[in-house]
Amino acid sequence: MTSTQSKPLHGKGRECVITRRACFSSSHRYWLPEKSPEENLSLFGKCSIAPGHGHNYELIVSMGGELDSDGMVLNLSDVKHSIKDKVTGQLDFRFLNDVWPEFNVDNQEGILPTTEALVQVIWHRLKDDLPLTSLRLYENPNLWADYFGKNMEAFLTVQTHFAAAHRLAKEEISFDENKKIYGKCARVNGHGHNYLVDITVKGDIDKRTGMVCDLSALQDTINDLIVEQLDHTFLNKDIEFFHNCVPTAENIALYISDILKKPIHQLGATLHKIRLQESPNNAAEIYVDQKLTNSLKLKFENSLVTQT
């Protein structure tokens, strides 16, 4: 007797997050009419200079939902058309200050089209069409903003770099013991990396300037306190903190977070995350304002990662 029971559709009803990338080129200018030319220059630097400047923006749209019987959360063709209709088709090769009413600063409700403000406005343009979970907007490869639909809260990330050498070894144990823990990284003359550092801050977007914090001041703080101090050093010898602390990627990331937390707070934002990449294969992330979820607090018994 032949069974009439249909085969269950793999994945139907299960949740998934999908992403769609879109690009557009636009210009903007940071200038508030209630400020004098001197005040605008002080606040926004070269970004205040007329007629403005431009960027090749990259937008990452994340959407969540259940798989349908066709194995999709959404039809990507529909997603593409929604993004083009509501965002890129309107912004590409346009002057952002003029294209959307939200950025009309002649109106007291207007906000400057910073990366943070732009990603938040894009969210509100797309949210009725797409089941958004997050948006990321790259102004350039070293500066981007993330938005999760939480009122005016946004995350701003600045990426920078420095070159430094280090040696992974504990002074109180032998060379052979260090080799067992750190491998080649324990060799006495050390080795170097071109480190990439992502500094992510969070805060509310100012309803007028469009900024989470003063970007120029943030970049100066990072450069003065981190890059200038660590670049072209032998960390174990040149940085006092690492005289007695092994400069692993994890410890360097923690060191950076400890240095930046208070100065960033003084700028009006909160340090959220430090990501330090020492090579294409290795990186460490420190979430400054939150703890790891319980699912990550695992004890790996009888595992290679267990150290005693």
Which one of the listed residues 53, 81, 124, 232 is annotated catalytic?
A: 232
Q: Give yes or no: 232 in active site.
A: yes
**Residue showing tokens 């010898």:** 237
- β pairing state of 143-147 and 153-166: antiparallel
Our CA angle for 276, 279, 283, nearest 5°, is 35
**CA separation (Å) from 226 to 123, 219, 252, 253, 282?**
33, 10, 11, 11, 20
pLDDT at 295 over 80: no
- From the list 55, 153, 185, 265, the catalytic residue is 185
Quickly tell me which residue has 């431009």 as its tokens. Answer: 54
Q: What is the pLDDT of residues 42-84, one digit of tens each?
A: 999 999 999 999 999 999 999 999 999 888 989 999 999 999 9
pLDDT digits over 186-230, tens only? 999 999 999 999 999 999 999 999 999 999 999 999 999 999 999
- Interior CA angle at 292 toward 156 and 288, to 5°? 40
How far is the C-alpha of 98 from the C-alpha of 38, rounded, in Å?
Answer: 23
Reply yes or no on whether the pLDDT at 15 is more than 70: yes
DSSP 74: S
- The residue-averaged pLDDT of 253-275 equals 97
Flag whether pLDDT at 138 surpasses 80: yes
Confirm if 169 and 186 have CB atoms less than 8 A apart: yes
Phi and psi for 114 in degrees, rounded to 5?
A: -70, 170
pLDDT score of 5: 59
What pLDDT does residue 287 have? 96
pLDDT band at residue 304 using 50, 70 and 90 as cut-offs: very low
Domain boundaries 151-308, corresponding CATH code: 3.30.479.10
Report pLDDT digits (tens) over 112-134: 999 999 999 999 999 999 999 99
Predicted pLDDT at 274: 98
Exposed, middle or buried by CB within 10 Å (0-12, 13-18, 19+), for 61? buried
Instruction: Tell me the CATH number for domain 13-149.
Output: 3.30.479.10
Residue 4: its pLDDT value, please? 53
User: How many angstroms separate the CA atoms of 148 and 135, rounded?
Assistant: 7
The residues of the chain that CATH labels 3.30.479.10 are 13-149, 151-308
Residue type, 13: G
Question: Which of the 8 DSSP states describes residue 262?
Answer: H
